[in-house]
Amino acid sequence: MKRITLILAGSVLVLACAAAAFAQSTDPVSSSDKNAPSASSTTPAPDPSPTPAAESTPAASAETSTKAHASAPPASNPAIDKVRERGMKASAKERTDVEKKLDLIEKEIQTEATTKGDAEIAGRISSEFGMTADALTAERAQYARGWGELLVAHTLMANAKTDATLTDLFTMRSQGMGWGAIAAGMNLQLGDLVTAMKSEQRVAMGLEKGDGKPAMIASGSATTKVKANAKPSAKAEVKASAAGVGVGGGVDINKATGK
């Protein structure tokens, strides 16, 4: 009986050892690498500081500058502002009438250029303004305007006392101002402008030889043009007398004295 008890106790001990060995071999924790560092002890903590904003590149800066420039209003030009302000005060009907007549003159000159060639037109009118044909041709390319408009612009510049430049005149044209308003703004008589342009048109068309002098346009409120060293006509004397200009306020001195 005692022998049986010892055998049973030995069997239980063997089974217990086998179970312990089996459990150790299947334990994932024990089979893992004991030298592997734990995540909690070796993983660095995330950086709490905010990510810096991306630095602006030259291209981005240039684009921003371009947009700001495009949205900014155009710089004021005192010479243009003065011409525009005075020109818009002139009679709208008179301005419109003058502009229609000048438009017709410009078209006829352009037709002549199409027939005879640009070089021919440039040669005819350039000397009127003390220019070479090449210089006038270069201006036409620069401003992208017809020969008629160049002729009008140079005639205005030759007659007006203004701070405006040729470039200013074509800038105003690009902004929608007519030649009538521009001429009035330059303090030139609109009726004289048409007469002067018809004279220059004859030169451009080859109907008349240029004399090297641009046609004259009266300025201010003058209604008559008197050539230098020329004796006033009888009509001019009567008009002056009626206005109270001259000795005796228009009274015939000879009659008044009985002579």
What pLDDT sits at residue 169?
Answer: 97
Q: How far apart are CA 165 and CA 27, in angstroms?
A: 98
Long-range contacts of 74-77 (CB under 8 A, 24+ apart): 77/168, 77/171
Angle made by CA atoms 93, 97, 101, in degrees to the nearest 5: 170
Q: Please provide the DSSP assignment of 117-176 as one string.
A: -HHHHHHHHGGGGT--HHHHHHHHHHHT--HHHHHHHHHHHHH---S--HHHHHHHHHTT
What pLDDT sits at residue 59?
Answer: 52
What pLDDT sits at residue 24?
Answer: 54
- pLDDT tens for each residue of the chain, 259 residues long: 555 555 555 565 656 555 555 555 555 444 444 444 444 444 555 555 555 544 455 555 545 544 544 444 456 799 999 999 999 999 999 999 999 999 999 999 999 999 999 999 999 999 999 999 999 999 999 999 999 999 999 999 999 999 999 999 999 999 999 999 999 999 999 999 999 999 999 999 999 998 999 999 998 744 333 333 334 333 333 333 333 434 333 444 444 444 4
Read off the pTM: 0.59
Q: Which residue has the tokens 């007006």?
A: 160
